[in-house]
Amino acid sequence: MVVGAADAGKFDEVAGDYTRIAVRGAPDGWLDYGASAGASAEFVPDGVTHGSDTLLLYFTSGTTAKPKLVAHTHASYPVGHLSTMYWIGLEPGDVHLNISSPGWAKHAWSNVFAPWIAEACVLVMNYARFDAESVLGVLDRCRVTSFCAPPTVWRMLIQADLSGLAHPPAKVVGAGEPLNPEVIEQVEKAWGVRIRDGFGQTESTVQIGNSPGQPVKPGSMGRPVPGYPIVLVDPATGEPADEGEICVDLARRPLGLMAGYHGDPERDAEAMAGGYYHTGDVGSRDADGYVTYVGRADDVFKRRTTGSARSSWRACSSSTRRWPRRPSSRRRTRCGWPSRRRTWRSRPATSRPRRPRGPSWSSRARTSPRTSGCAGWSSRRCPRRSPGRSAGSSCAGARPTCTPTRRHAAGGVHPVGVPRERDRANGRAVEVIGRAQHCGA
């Protein structure tokens, strides 16, 4: 355990027979990291280390489920990261800067193993708080040739002046989530290079990526890298398909795949079921073999009965945009909420109605995998509020009767109702929940 001296006291109650090392001073019972400079250069191992022995234990992020403890061996990460080196395009003599915290597996990817294998220089930038201008200054001053950063960092960097670099990096990559097309375009315009996406997990090294020299298709993660037999498996049939869960064929198990989840055989069996390692992510493959990320399997395939499995992650950037506080009466008659383009999208059936805030209201543009891009429903009017009908008239004709809910009537609002309709053209059931309107609006 290596900690700063100020944090050593936090481990007083942590039992275990482990070596305690403190940096910048050592309390009683701790070794001083500074004393390592005077330690002997001789190393005598206490036993034989096998390539299959555990080297690293990393927790997954826990964003979609309880964090899992991933075990990597002396081969899976040190040698398996040949795929990461291939994706980034690192070569001897490169100066590589990676923005990542040491607690994440990505730090091991790009701060240790990939540049180490390539005999490249690893540049580490020390900062207490991220600052885009400082990062750009380091990139220029240190002549960084290869740069890797998560999308969050890229979005902050484009807020600064990218064109001020006299020596921009020749290789730039991003990982963690899909990048906005706007970010990619701005970096390419300023530096003359395109950010290349890649896909991997804590459980593996890079599986899919846009490697140097291959054409980059907007929105695509690229193609499977050498050594990773990627298969898209349809969860309904368990057979390979052009759209399905991203899996690794264990018949040709790649070296970079984890040994397993430490101390959790049940999760091991679940992840390795059916002769595949299941990533839990869904993708689609085009005729050229390029894979496009769709979403998490749990989120996508629950919605197969309500719409296309493909989710529009590109629209996530619109989730913080504010819209006018008082919409026109024409817009108020429609069911749903305003999208980024100020058209209206239908609300997913599981969403809770927005609670009005006083005499006026404000809303955020929102998207949902269930309704994104559903142009056929973006302009439908609520039947109870359609022109030519009074506010209290019933929904006659081909439209089913609206069933008001108590939830809409809470807090002094008019019940608009929940019309349920079926789009016969594609056979998908669509539930449109009317917006609760404030009294007197």
- Token pair 């089913």 is at which residue? 400
pLDDT band at residue 320, thresholds of 50, 70 and 90? very low
Specify the range with the lowest mean pLDDT, choosing from 27-31, 195-199, 430-434: 430-434
How does strand 337-338 pair with strand 344-345? Answer: antiparallel
Q: Cβ distance 259 to 58 under 8 Å?
A: no
Give the whole-number percent of the chain exceeding pLDDT 70: 67
pLDDT band at residue 395, thresholds of 50, 70 and 90? very low
Q: Which two tokens stand for residue 224?
A: 């499977």
Res 332 pLDDT > 90: no
Specify the range with the lowest mean pLDDT, choosing from 134-143, 170-179, 405-414: 405-414
Quote the pLDDT of residue 300. Answer: 55
Specify the range with the lowest mean pLDDT, choosing from 107-116, 232-241, 245-254, 431-440: 431-440
pLDDT in tens, 55-69: 999 998 777 678 899
Quote the pLDDT of residue 299. Answer: 61
pLDDT band at residue 424, thresholds of 50, 70 and 90? very low
Name the more confident of 236 and 352.
236
Q: Which two tokens stand for residue 144?
A: 């960084």
Quote the pLDDT of residue 373. Answer: 35
- In total, the chain counts a number of residues equal to 441
- Token pair 């749990």 is at which residue? 298
Neighbours of 12 (CB within 10 A): 8
- Which alpha helices (DSSP H) does 158-290 contain, by range? 181-191, 265-271
Q: What is the DSSP letter of 435?
A: P
pLDDT band at residue 127, thresholds of 50, 70 and 90? confident
Interval 96-112 mean pLDDT? 91
Rounded to whole angstroms, what are the CA distances from 358 to 320, 336, 411? 21, 19, 10
pLDDT in tens, 133-157: 999 999 999 999 999 999 899 999 9
Quote the pLDDT of residue 400. Answer: 40
Res 186 pLDDT > 90: yes
Res 411 pLDDT > 90: no
Quote the pLDDT of residue 218. Answer: 84
Interval 127-134 mean pLDDT? 89
Quote the pLDDT of residue 64. Answer: 67
pLDDT in tens, 292-316: 998 887 665 444 433 333 333 333 3
User: How far is residue 56's CA from residue 72's CA, in Å, rounded to a whole number?
Assistant: 5
Specify the range with the lowest mean pLDDT, choosing from 147-156, 369-378, 396-405: 369-378
Q: Cβ distance 184 to 218 under 8 Å?
A: yes
Q: Which two tokens stand for residue 232?
A: 């898209």
Partners of 95 in the beta sheet?
A: 121
Nearest to 120 by CA among 148, 101, 156: 148
Rounded to whole angstroms, what are the CA distances from 194 to 123, 183, 360? 21, 10, 44
Q: Which two tokens stand for residue 435?
A: 């917006």
Q: Cβ distance 151 to 174 under 8 Å?
A: yes
Give the whole-number percent of the chain exceeding pLDDT 90: 52
Name the more confident of 379 and 125.
125
The maximal CA–CA distance of the chain, rounded, in angstroms, is: 90
**Is the whole model's pTM more than 0.75, yes or no?**
no
Nearest to 289 by CA among 196, 234, 215: 215
Quote the pLDDT of residue 65. Answer: 72
Q: Cβ distance 172 to 195 under 8 Å?
A: yes
Quote the pLDDT of residue 358. Answer: 41
Q: What is the mean pLDDT of the chain?
A: 75
**What domains lie within the chain, and their CATH numbers?**
2-38 (no CATH), 54-304 (3.40.50.12780), 320-441 (no CATH)
